[in-house]
Amino acid sequence: MNLIEKIIAAHSKYESVKPGDIVDIELDVRAARDFGGANVVRNIIDHGLSVHDPDRTFFTFDCNPTGSDQKYAQNQQICRMFAREHGIRVYDIDKGIGTHILIHEGLAHSGSTVVTTDSHANILGAVGAFGQGMGDQDIAAAWAKGKVWFKVPPSVRINLNGKRPEGLSAKDIVLNLLHTFGANKLLGYSIEIYGDEVDRLTLDERITIASMATEMGAIIILFTPSPEILEYSSQRAGKKITLLKADFDARYEQTFDLDLSRFVPRVSRPGKPHDTVDIQDVKGTRIDSAFIGSCTNGRMEDLKKAASILQGKKVAPGVVLKIVPATDEIWQECLNEGIIEIFKESGALVSNAGCAGCAAGQVGQNGPGEITLSTGNRNFPGKQGKGEVYLASPEVVAASAIAGYITTPGDIPEEPMVYTFKEKAAPQQAAGVKAPIPEQKPTTVEGRAWFIKKDDIDTDMIFHNRYLTITNINEMGQYTFDNLKGYEDFAKKARAGDIVVVQKNFGSGSSRQQAVDCFTSLGVQAILAESFGAIYERNAINAALPIMTYGSVQPIDLEDGDNIRLNFETGEVTNVTKGKSMMADKFSEVQLEIYQNGGLF
């Protein structure tokens, strides 16, 4: 077996598993963050559930560690009160990013299983652990039962051959991988990465690469721990951690041999993390702000590299540099080594540990017309504000903050570029009306099709993160697609009974349940896609929102507004308007059971 198969098998009742098997996985760690935690608590209370094992159950408050939002503060306090009642440990707003804390605390390590409400829980693949982000219902069920159902994914192996070019950062490595595979070529796969240079990657570098598996559409990027990382995990866990690695004859659906020596420093252009280009193609692009941090690049090595470039220099006039360490432990180490002083002397704003702009709960947001260069893992439209976000390594961000434009550490000018910021008018928010939620659960439905010919529609386009504090499903529908260009008025025009048809990788990005529930709020009957983001697929199935995958709609000559009929049991899709039919994937036994039950609970 390969790595993910061995981990899943070791936590199931089976000696071996294979791709496509649906198994219950015992969980070593179950955690909820501050934005999803209150909904997890609500699900547990509403359904009369108990907590299976409080010692393995945790809250991590990393989305809004500044306590700057009253709704976040309310949700955090709901979680604290629940934790006190049930003996659950809380890593509060002074600790930092939850996935990193789990590594620091030795809770996530080689061969362990972890689920959280964080869509970047697969970052734990950096230490050889199975980490998965899941929605609020999934996590509530995990807290109550200590296990979740999971489909064993197919695996691919990536061999990075050749010598690593001097100065090539871990962020550059993963941006090169995104350039090669895009957002959906490895959708739903577990990825294992090997090579001589890979064996030399540090923990911080592995975290950077693993953290962008979600942006590749992958279930996880897994590394086999080096002796140094295994020793680190053992020290942190206070016990000897046994190395789990793939068998020498492990099965992979595909093996890719890539020449690492040909990788170059890259930058992701605004809107799509996988739209990466050679940094030379965007060099000279003016910036208004810069951000160093997030779960991708808020590690000690990242901050040391940034400090080495910023030392003795100043951030360009008119540019705001925001720096957020990943954890308080890292923050304290920066303080002890004088790095915080270097940052402050350069003119940077340093905030307390956490997710920062990525979660809209801390420094890092930008305004209309603002150009930001960020070390984060996402730059979806609206994700970090109303401006545009480029993604790059900490070294490039630090150098560019000094220059006032995108540049490399070896090409920082004597004098920075200075220019005037011009603000664009903010687009109006779309308003919507809610529709009644269908009470019946038929296995055949018919309705008007919305044919949206777009790939990679992420959860921020579906239900933007500025609405994440909304927990009342009846209020969610009006915000559906209001961040999807061309469909900002979807909620106004949608009718109960409509069926949404999209293309590849629908629902990529965040684990937010609202991106599913907003369609239920509007009365949308079903969603068809060529493929779904892994977490979104689970959330929809668990919420009993009918979803189906198809190969091509060409056989039914589908056009926007056609009337279509779906049969969930057979997979037949009929364009009633044109009298043409095709076959899509029918509901699995699990999906049908949950659907007929009206949801996971």
pLDDT in tens, 336-371: 999 999 999 999 999 988 888 776 667 878 888 899
Among the listed residues 146, 127, 126, 128, the one whose alpha carbon sits nearest the alpha carbon of residue 138: 146
| Strand spans (E) along 238-367 | 254-259, 266-268, 276-278, 289-292, 320-323, 349-350
Q: What is the pLDDT of residues 492-517, one digit of tens each?
A: 999 999 999 999 999 999 899 999 99
DSSP label at residue 554: G
Q: What is the pLDDT of residue 360?
A: 66
Q: How far from 598 is each of 139, 354, 417, 441, CA to CA, in Å?
A: 18, 37, 59, 7
- The Cα–Cα gap between 126 and 129 comes to 7
Domains and CATH numbers, the chain: 6-262 (3.30.499.10), 268-411 (3.30.499.10), 444-596 (3.20.19.10)
Partners of residue 292 on adjacent β-strands: 323
Rg, Å, the chain Cα set: 23
Least confident segment among 140-154, 373-387, 498-512? 373-387
Tokens of residue 72, six digits: 């976040």
Residue 273, token pair as written in the block: 């993390």
Contact between 177 and 211 under an 8 Å Cβ cutoff? The reply is no
- The pLDDT tens digits for 113-129 are 999 998 899 999 999 99
CB crowding 426-444: b at 16 or more within 10 Å, else e:
eeeebebebbeeeeeeeee
Rounded-to-5 percentages of helix, strand, coil across the chain = 35, 20, 45
pTM across the whole model? 0.84
Assign 162 to helix, strand or coil: coil
Cβ(150)–Cβ(131) below 8 Å: no
pLDDT at 355 (0 to 100) = 84
- Distance between CA atoms of 172 and 178, rounded to whole angstroms? 10
What local confidence, expressed as pLDDT, does residue 429 receive? Answer: 47
Least confident of 377-381, 398-402, 451-455, 530-534: 377-381
User: What tokens does 557 get?
Assistant: 């000559």
Q: At what angle do helices 227-237 and 203-210 cross, to 10 degrees?
A: 90
Report helix, strand or coil for 58.
strand
Question: Is the CB of residue 143 less than 8 Å from the CB of residue 51?
Answer: yes
Convert the pLDDT of each residue in 263-322 to its tens digit. 999 999 999 999 999 999 999 999 999 999 998 999 999 999 999 999 999 999 999 999
- Strands 572-575 and 580-583 turn out to be antiparallel
Burial of 183 (0-12, 13-18, 19+ CB in 10 A): buried
Concatenated DSSP letters of 194-218: E-HHHHT--HHHHHHHHTTTGGGT-
Question: In the predicted model, what is the mean pLDDT of the chain?
Answer: 92
Question: Tens of pLDDT along 21-37?
Answer: 999 999 999 999 887 89
